[in-house]
């Protein structure tokens, strides 16, 4: 079903009484060989390549459950498209976490919301020393996959990334980013330039527990075929507003000349991380807390050369942020479009598997307590004069976003709302990245979350706020990836690729191909297996 809607509203309230969404949170097995998909419609002849997706594929080991959405063991999925034919393949990433868990048939390494405990067969002294040594950082790379040079790496949000073969899906090499740059973890959403240069952001715990956020540059493919990761460098460092409590970072913004970092009130308590974690077997979620008074800060840094703009202090009310939509420069302003969740309560508190597997009425009740999602536009002025205190500094004619200089030198931001609906989120945003990243743009594509259940694909015109929606009964799509047509002249001339799960169907897993202009269906490739939830991924031509 496709609908056109205006003024940022969804077409109707959708119910899921059959709770088919529970199936996307169940364990699956690897495939021994690719499955041939049944294709309906016509796959465009120019669309030849692979859709690669990452997500959790194993939700329990040896009778021990994983508790959080971000705990399941990493699985890579691939839909191959060639000459109108489609195949589907999947493999577990053979991380250290996976191999050791499977060998010992229990949870050995602590994940995001699941603590590992010492082997009960060991004596009490061995168990004590296991606790005292602390818990190893996981390499369970279930969140995203991206190219580095001519290679491909699956990632989570720790310091470990895992090199994989995008053709065979075999696991190749584990890489510790700490060996190359000063970071204690890197985000799952790097930015990539046309020449292959990557930028990413991560926390850095320095001497005497000094804290900062480092933006890291990894060059593109090297002429001498050397590994670009070995040439990684920190290009700019951003300060933390609290010495022992860094903010959670999942993504950041980038324009042609600037980096944008949004410091949110969801914090990692380092003392808790370093002490109670080591002694009592806590997990990552146990180390998060919210700062109820800081609000949210926007930090700016120049790109070439890298430099922190300490004179520009932007502040707004509290919100959670996981995904930036896009950012661009216009007439002395930086426009920043983001997916937000109102308030300081951590959204991940609502993503435990027990919550997501509830019956529909219970899922709705839980979502009513969670922060309200909104897609927002903030505008940051670059030219600031003290005499303009108390005035709205934003003069762009097409936005209602404001920025007001306070007497303490900070600038208070109020957003323009791009999309809002009761318990309806526009999330996992995508754009025509190669054409529009860091540039003024019109269209964003997202996954529609209905009380945290992914049940639609949404196209949003960020200028007019018009929306288009694709939806089918009892169908659960994933993040839509945009692929531009070879001779495209318009921004939305291309296709959207999404994995859709329809649990009651004869062939419940499918690759859905939509026309990005109007979300009409172009083709569908169905396979006779369930595909568990996927988080992020990429299209490899």
In the annotated binding site, the residues are 189, 250, 323, 536
Cα of 85 vs its chain's centroid, Å: 30
Contact 318, 295 (CB under 8 A): yes
Q: What is the CA radius of gyration of the chain?
A: 23
Task: From 472, 484, 468, 473, select the one nearest 541 (Cα to Cα).
Answer: 484
Listing from the earlier edge strand, what are the strands of the sheet with 191-192? 191-192, 198-205, 211-218, 233-239
Q: Please give the backbone phi and psi of residue 377, each rounded to the nearest 5 degrees, phi first.
A: -120, 125
Q: Dihedral, CA atoms, 122, 124, 130, 133, nearest 10 degrees?
A: -160
69 three-class SS: coil
For residues 132 and 113, give the distance between their C-alpha atoms in angstroms, rounded to a whole number. 20
Instruction: Give every CB contact of residue 514 below 8 A, 6+ residues apart in sequence.
Output: 457, 470, 480, 495, 496, 498, 520, 521, 522
Q: Which two tokens stand for residue 528?
A: 């006779």
Burial class of residue 125 (count of CB atoms within 10 Å of its CB; 0-12, 13-18, 19+): exposed
Q: Which residue, chain included where needed, has tokens 């996992």?
A: 428
35-to-86, 88, 504, 532 alpha-carbon distances in Å: 9, 5, 19, 16
231 three-class SS: helix
**Other residues' Cβ atoms within 10 Å of the Cβ of residue 84:** 14
337-to-404, 459, 460 alpha-carbon distances in Å: 18, 15, 12
74 three-class SS: strand
Binding residues for Fe cation: 189, 250, 323, 536
Q: Please give the backbone phi and psi of residue 537, each rounded to the nearest 5 degrees, phi first.
A: -175, -160
């Amino acid at each position: 079903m496709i609908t056109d809607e205006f003024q940022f509203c969804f077409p109707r309230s959708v119910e899921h009484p059959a709770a088919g969404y529970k199936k996307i949170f169940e364990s699956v097995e690897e495939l021994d060989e690719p499955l041939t998909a049944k294709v309906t419609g016509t796959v465009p002849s120019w669309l030849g390549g692979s859709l690669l997706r990452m997500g959790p594929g194993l939700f329990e080991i040896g009778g021990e459950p994983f508790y959080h959405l971000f705990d399941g063991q990493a699985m890579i999925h691939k839909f191959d498209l060639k000459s109108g034919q489609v195949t589907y393949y999947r493999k577990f990433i053979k991380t250290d976490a996976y191999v050791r868990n499977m060998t010992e048939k229990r949870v050995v390494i602590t994940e995001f919301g699941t603590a590992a405990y010492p082997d009960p067969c060991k004596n009490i002294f061995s168990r004590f020393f296991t606790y005292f040594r602390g818990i190893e950082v996981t390499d369970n790379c279930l969140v995203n996959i991206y190219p580095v040079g001519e290679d491909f790496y699956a990632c989570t949000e720790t310091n470990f990334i895992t090199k994989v073969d995008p053709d065979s899906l075999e696991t190749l090499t584990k890489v510790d980013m700490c060996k190359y740059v000063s970071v204690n973890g890197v985000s799952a959403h790097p930015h990539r330039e046309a020449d292959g240069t990557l930028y990413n952001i991560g926390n850095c715990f320095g001497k005497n527990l000094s804290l900062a956020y480092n933006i890291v540059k990894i060059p593109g493919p090297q002429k001498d075929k050397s590994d670009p990761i070995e040439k990684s460098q920190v290009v700019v460092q951003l300060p933390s507003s609290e010495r022992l409590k860094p903010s959670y970072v999942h993504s950041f913004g980038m324009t042609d000349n600037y980096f944008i970092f949004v410091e949110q009130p969801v914090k990692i308590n380092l003392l808790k991380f370093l002490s109670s974690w080591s002694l009592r077997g806590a997990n990552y979620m146990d180390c998060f807390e919210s700062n109820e008074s800081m609000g949210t800060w926007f930090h700016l840094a120049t790109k070439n050369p890298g430099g922190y703009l300490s004179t520009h202090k932007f502040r707004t009310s509290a919100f959670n942020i996981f995904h930036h939509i896009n950012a661009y420069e216009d007439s002395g302003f930086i426009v920043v479009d983001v997916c937000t969740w109102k308030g300081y309560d951590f959204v991940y508190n609502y993503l435990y598997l027990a919550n997501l597997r509830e019956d529909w009425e219970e899922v709705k009740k839980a979502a009513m307590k969670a922060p309200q999602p909104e897609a927002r536009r903030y505008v940051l002025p670059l030219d600031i004069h003290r005499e303009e205190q108390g005035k709205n500094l934003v003069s762009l004619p097409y936005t209602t976003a404001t920025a007001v200089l306070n007497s303490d030198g900070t600038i208070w931001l109020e957003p323009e709302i791009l999309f809002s609906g009761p318990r309806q989120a526009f999330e996992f945003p995508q754009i025509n990245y190669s054409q529009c990243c860091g540039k003024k743009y019109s269209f964003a594509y997202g996954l529609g979350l209905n009380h945290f259940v992914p049940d639609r694909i949404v196209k949003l015109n960020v200028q007019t706020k018009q929306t288009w929606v694709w939806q089918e009964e009892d169908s659960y799509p994933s993040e839509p990836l945009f692929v531009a047509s070879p001779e495209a002249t318009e921004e939305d001339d291309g296709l959207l690729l999404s994995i859709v799960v329809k649990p009651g169907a004869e062939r419940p897993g499918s690759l859905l191909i939509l026309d990005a202009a109007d979300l009409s269906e172009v083709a569908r490739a169905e396979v006779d297996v369930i595909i568990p939830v996927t988080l992020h991924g990429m299209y490899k031509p």
